[in-house]
Structure 1
Amino acid sequence: RAPRIAVAHARLKHGDPCPESGCEGRWYGQRREPALLVRVTGVAPLAAQVYELERLRCGLCGTVLTAEPPAGVGETKCDETAAAMIALLKYGCGLPFHRIARLEKALAIPLPAATQWEVVQQAAARLTPAFAELAEQAAEGSVLYNDDTTMRILNFTEEARTEALPPGARADRTGVFTSGLVAETAHGPIALFKTGPCHAGEHLAEVLDRREAPDPPIQMSDGLSRNKPGDHPTQAASCLPHARRKYVDVANAFPDEVAFVLKTLREVFRTDQQARRKGLSPPDRLLLHQQESAPRMQALEDWMASQFAEHTVEPHSGLGQAISYMQNHWQKLTLFRRVAGAPIDNNICERILKKAILHRKNALFYRTLNGARVGDLFMSLIHTAELHQIEPFDYLVTLQRHVATVALDPSAWMPWNYTEALARAEAAAANEAEAPPD
């Protein structure tokens, strides 16, 4: 949101007579249609100011007095905006600390990577209540999407791994993953990240341990068993594009058969896109799929059965394996035909995992488990704010500047309602400032 600066005309103003010869009209301001001039300037992501505080020394007793810093400067070297900017560059845009340090050095404002880490680590401690509240609210979601991607923790000690392992997991597990979870709640989507030895299903189970709603949620994932949330009951749905990709992989070997499958699924996706474009409610969307998609999916199911029954496809071939995968997961792949609100894809979760993949591509690893937890916290807050079309930088700064208030009632400081809480806090501060002293 670039600031707007009103520029008045140098000679004329609203209501002045027209200077044109023979014209008796008057000038009227066009407030709704001003001429726009955009001026873009380059600035450093992190700026610094050095305050030279005058020092006075008594020539007789030797007492030294130092000038007071200007009001509002603060006592810490890096303020809330610096912490928010470093976190946004690192965990939102995928810039490693050493690249940020190189950029700042080129701008004559050196900021070592170790200093950046200290700043975001301290900020993460202040943001923990908001992060925990996101997990509490995500547990009550009606639809939960989950998936994971591989990650690396450089200094992952045996003690840290044992501590991070979920209950019942094998002690010799060696993998490290970042799992992503998106919850559709009454307030909108919530994104959560967790990095460690646990799989996506174990992360989901940990979130569902907090659930109080009696109805089981809809859970969307791919067909891997590790995405299941343990013993927690859910209405399981599988990703239809994931099953589609298995046909795309063998399109060159089986062009005619794959063309039929892709054409059938294309119409199903178009129906779902039509429902989204029209903003249909979950029951209306379900009715539309039952009218348009159900016959197409039934034709696809009959076609798959006939391929094996008539021995036209070898079960162990690429096409046979694609058909077997779809048949084995058919009930979960077609949940959208039976349950209102059931999605047909896991795209939203795969998109949020791109933040973790971008971090892995650029930074290669987290140094410690603690570093991974800091990254998970910032990625969760940043991406949830983005899902609500809220500027993450402004949100992170606001949370840090009202730490005590956020800790008392974090539910009032979520991305979808924090502006209201901020307005109340600012009004209370203004009233307190205007109140007469006792």
Structure 2
Amino acid sequence: MVGCLAHARRKFTEALQALPESAKTTHVKAKEGLAFCNQLFAIERELKDASPEERYKKRLERSQPILDAFSAWLREQTPRVLPKSALGQAIKYCRNQWDRLVVFLEDGRLEIDNNRAERSIKPFVIGRKNWMFSNTAKGANSSAIIYSIVETAKENGLNPFNYLKYLFEQLPNMDMTDKPKLDQLLPWSPSIPAECRVPNKTK
């Protein structure tokens, strides 16, 4: 599972906002934690258009040392801050989530945060009162499957309506135990016909 460094950064921002200007030492420490996060995000912005392979290499070269220093800093600060303070909570969050926060280093296709996923589900969160018809577990599960298919289609440059139409035309005539054939219907399959794709949209 991949952690979200945006959440970690937000906690240091909240720690800064919670501090009075008079708390100079703690204020500086919160800024230090925030600075580690900001450095990592600055690298990600520079690598936005890089290939997954290039992103993977550059992350190991540039982000890994920052993460190592950040981890050492977190261990050093843990006994020096009040555990229940905003800064203490930010440090605790990072240490508890650390194994997940560094997973993005393992593959250039992984994101440093889950902001894109959160944006994808935002329409469903905003419209959750409209989903009250899902009054059974089976109905809710069916809705979740459809929403997942639609959002995955979007992420892969497909027109959701055309893609669903294509699935409904193909699936009734297929052997559902034939996994290689079913794999050809997945949103990222190169076998998906051009009419399902959004013009000038790449995966």
Superposed pair shares fold, TM > 0.5: yes
Q: Deviations over 1:240-276 (max 9, x none)?
A: 2222222222222344333222222112112123223
* Matching residue of 1:189: none
1:320 has 2:88 as partner:
yes
Among candidates 2, 7, 11, match of residue 246 of structure 1: 11
Q: Would you say the 8 A contact 2:104–2:112 is kept in 1? A: yes
Tell me what 1:435 maps to. none
Q: Which runs of 5+ in 1 are unaligned?
A: 1-218, 221-237, 423-438
Offset of residue 366 of structure 1: 1.4
Matched residues in 2 for 1:352 and 1:407: separation?
Answer: 32
Distance 1:404 1:301, change over 3 A: closer
Q: 1:361 to 1:305 in 2, by over 3 A?
A: same
User: Which has the higher Rg, Structure 1 or Structure 2?
Assistant: 1
Distance in 2 of aligned mates of 1:402 and 1:340: 33
Q: Give 1:57-136 correspondences, 5 Å limit.
A: none
Tell me what 2:193 maps to.
419
Q: 1:329 aligns to what SS in structure 2?
A: helix
- Could you say which residue in structure 2 is the equivalent of 1:383? 151
Q: 1:272 to 1:251 in 2, by over 3 A?
A: same
Question: Do the aligned residues in 1 keep the contact of 2:12 with 2:31 (CA within 8 Å)?
Answer: no
Q: Go from structure 1 to structure 2 and tell me whether the alpha carbon gap of 1:275 and 1:414 turns closer, same or farther (over 3 Å shift).
A: same
* 2:50 equivalent in structure 1: 278
Q: Residue 378 of structure 1: CA displacement? A: 2.0
Q: Which amino acid aligns with 1:319?
A: L
TM-align CA RMSD: 3.0
What's the offset of the Cα at 1:304?
A: 2.9
In 2, distance between residues paired with 1:382 and 1:285? Answer: 28
Deviation of 1:280 (Å): 4.1
Letter in 2 for 1:303: W
* 1:112 matched residue in structure 2: none
Higher strand share: 1
3-state SS in 1 of match to 2:49? helix
Aligned-pair CA distance for 1:407: 4.9
Q: 1:359 to 1:370 in 2, by over 3 A?
A: farther
Higher relative CO (Cα under 8 Å, sequence separation at least 6) belongs to 2
Structure 2 contact 74–91 (Cα < 8 Å) conserved: yes
Identify the match of residue 122 of structure 2 among 347, 350, 354: 354
Aligned to 1:107: none
Does the aligned pair in 2 maintain the 1:399–1:406 contact within 8 Å?
no
Q: In 2 relative to 1, CA 381–332 (structure 1 residues): closer, same or farther, beyond 3 Å?
A: closer
Match of 2:38 in 1: 266
2:58 aligned with 1:294: no
Q: How many equivalent pairs are there?
A: 182
Summarize deviations over 1:189-216 as a string: whole Å, max 9, x none.
xxxxxxxxxxxxxxxxxxxxxxxxxxxx
Report what 1:71 is aligned to. none
Instruction: Return closer, same or farther for 1:399/1:406 CA change in 2, 3 Å cut-off.
Output: farther
Q: CA deviation at 1:364?
A: 4.0
The residue aligned with 2:73 is 303
Q: Secondary structure at the match of 1:249?
A: helix
Using the TM superposition, give the Cα deviation of residue 319 of structure 1 relative to its aligned residue in structure 2, in angstroms.
0.8
- Would the aligned equivalents of 2:9 and 2:34 in 1 still touch at CA under 8 Å? yes
Give the distance between the partners of 1:291 and 1:369, measured in 2 at CA. Answer: 47
**CA distance, structure 2, for counterparts of residue 242 and residue 257 of structure 1:** 18
Between structures 1 and 2, the one with greater helix share? 2
- Taking a change above 3 Å as real, the CA distance of residues 302 and 401 of structure 1, as seen in their structure-2 partners, is closer
AA in 2 matched with 1:267:
Q
Inter-partner Cα distance in structure 2 for 1:346 and 1:327: 18
Unmatched tracts of structure 2, length 5 or more: 20-26, 197-203
CA deviation string 1:94-117 (max 9, x = no partner): xxxxxxxxxxxxxxxxxxxxxxxx
Cα 1:298–1:286, aligned 2, differ >3 Å: closer, same or farther?
same
CA distance in 1, matches of 2:56, 2:65: 14
Q: Deviations over 1:401-433 (max 9, x none)?
A: 34433456433333342317x9xxxxxxxxxxx
* Residues 1:258 and 1:406: Cα distance change in structure 2 (over 3 Å): farther
Instruction: Return the alpha-carbon distance in structure 1 between the equivalents of residues 118 and 111 of structure 2.
Output: 14
Q: 1: distance between equivalents of 2:116 and 2:174?
A: 28
